């Protein structure tokens, strides 16, 4: 009897959660609110684990090296320390440049939340998401584009609490965005403006960007007649006919890695390389309005 009641309770929880839908600007349902509260409480714990996990790759490599070396151990140790110092200096220089770029690459017509740092990844095999340290107190709302560098789209916000926000990355299998494929020469990356040679933006290949279960990022539903080449930029289209889409136009989401099609296919098969790997993310910005 108890088992039946609890099974029904689980299904009710699931149904209510799905019916609530994603958080919107009008707020979240009770179950989403519970998860947001928990995320807020867990923020310091996640941050601690993120810091604790970060050096493991370096440590494991160092341990592996140490096992293989015996004679010139001290010399190698010194060399390693020097390399680490050089790497640290290089990292700081790159971080400095990246932060300058982030601050300098803003488009005047957009409004941005303050610079955010990635706290930790979340989810399991079905998800590719991160938590960032800005939230509703910083003007962040659900379903807003998240970018890095010079207006490169890396995902969108989903659940937002007061001081944190969950970002669904473009490589998440539930992410989708309307995109346009443009030759590099016809896109001004800093402004996102297109300068078509034939004066017609309608000639670009258009489709939907998503990661399929074959686990590659691709653009679907691109017409066979569309001109797409390796190396073309994939940018958000902003509109589809009369519909305004979730992302502003002209945000870079990747580069075309390969294009193929079979005679029986209805659409081209386009594989896209994302501009940045999720594990390389550090600082990001949320576009709050445009």
Partner 1 sequence: MVAMRHSISRAAVVVAVAALLEAVLSPYLTFGGVSPKLAVIGVVFAVAGLQDLQAVLLGFFGGVVFDALGGGIGLFGVGALGGLLAGILTARVGIAPRGAEVLLLAQVAAVAVAARDVIGLAAINLAGLEGPPPIKFLLAGVLPDALLNALLAYAIGGLLLKFVRKKGGT
Contact positions vs partner 1 (CB under 8 A)? 2-3, 6-7, 9-18, 31, 34-35, 38-39, 42, 45-46, 49, 53, 120-127, 159, 166, 173-174, 213
Question: Judged by CB, which is closer to partner 1: 53, or 61?
Answer: 53
Q: At closest approach, how far in Å is the CB of 18 from partner 1?
A: 5
Q: Residue 135 has which token pair?
A: 């939230």
| Cα 65 to the center of its chain, rounded Å | 33
Q: At closest approach, how far in Å is the CB of 209 from partner 1?
A: 14
Separation of alpha carbons 16 and 46, rounded Å: 27
Question: Judged by CB, which is closer to partner 1: 42, or 271?
Answer: 42
Q: At closest approach, how far in Å is the CB of 2 from partner 1?
A: 5
Separation of alpha carbons 150 and 100, rounded Å: 10
Q: At closest approach, how far in Å is the CB of 43 from partner 1?
A: 11
Question: Judged by CB, which is closer to partner 1: 121, or 192?
Answer: 121
Which among 102, 129, 124, 126 has a CA at the least distance from the CA of 113? 102
Q: At closest approach, how far in Å is the CB of 20 from partner 1?
A: 9
Question: Judged by CB, which is closer to partner 1: 167, or 187?
Answer: 167
Question: Judged by CB, which is closer to partner 1: 166, or 206?
Answer: 166
CB 157 within 8 A of CB 286: yes
What dihedral do alpha carbons 15, 16, 22, 26 form, nearest 10°?
Answer: 160
Q: How many CB atoms lie within 10 A of CB 81?
A: 10
CB 158 within 8 A of CB 169: no
Separation of alpha carbons 215 and 287, rounded Å: 28
């Amino acid at each position: 009897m108890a088992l039946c009641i609890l099974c029904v309770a689980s299904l009710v929880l699931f149904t209510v959660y799905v019916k609530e839908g994603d958080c919107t600007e009008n707020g979240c349902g009770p179950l989403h609110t519970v998860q947001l509260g928990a995320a807020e409480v867990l923020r310091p714990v996640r941050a601690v684990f993120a810091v604790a996990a970060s050096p493991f790759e370096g440590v494991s490599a160092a341990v592996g090296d140490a096992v293989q070396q015996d004679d010139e151990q001290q010399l190698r140790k010194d060399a390693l320390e020097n390399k680490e110092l050089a790497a640290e200096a290089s990292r700081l220089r790159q971080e400095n440049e990246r932060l300058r770029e982030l601050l300098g690459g803003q488009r005047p017509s957009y409004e941005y939340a303050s610079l955010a740092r990635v706290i930790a990844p979340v989810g399991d095999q079905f998800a590719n998401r991160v938590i960032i340290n800005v939230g509703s107190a910083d003007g962040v709302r659900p379903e807003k584009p998240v970018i890095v560098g010079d207006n490169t789209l890396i995902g969108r916000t989903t659940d937002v609490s007061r001081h944190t926000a969950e970002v669904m990355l473009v490589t998440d299998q539930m992410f989708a965005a309307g995109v346009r494929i443009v030759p590099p020469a016809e896109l001004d990356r800093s402004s996102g403006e297109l300068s078509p040679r034939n004066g017609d933006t309608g000639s670009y290949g258009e489709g939907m960007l998503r990661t399929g279960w074959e686990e590659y990022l691709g653009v679907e539903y691109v017409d066979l007649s569309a001109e797409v080449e390796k190396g073309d930029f994939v940018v958000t289209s902003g509109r589809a006919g009369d519909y305004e889409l979730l992302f502003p136009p002209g945000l870079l989401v990747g580069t075309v890695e390969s294009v193929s099609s079979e005679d029986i296919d209805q659409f081209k098969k386009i594989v896209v390389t994302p501009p940045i790997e999720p594990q390389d993310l550090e600082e990001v910005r949320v576009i709050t309005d445009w």
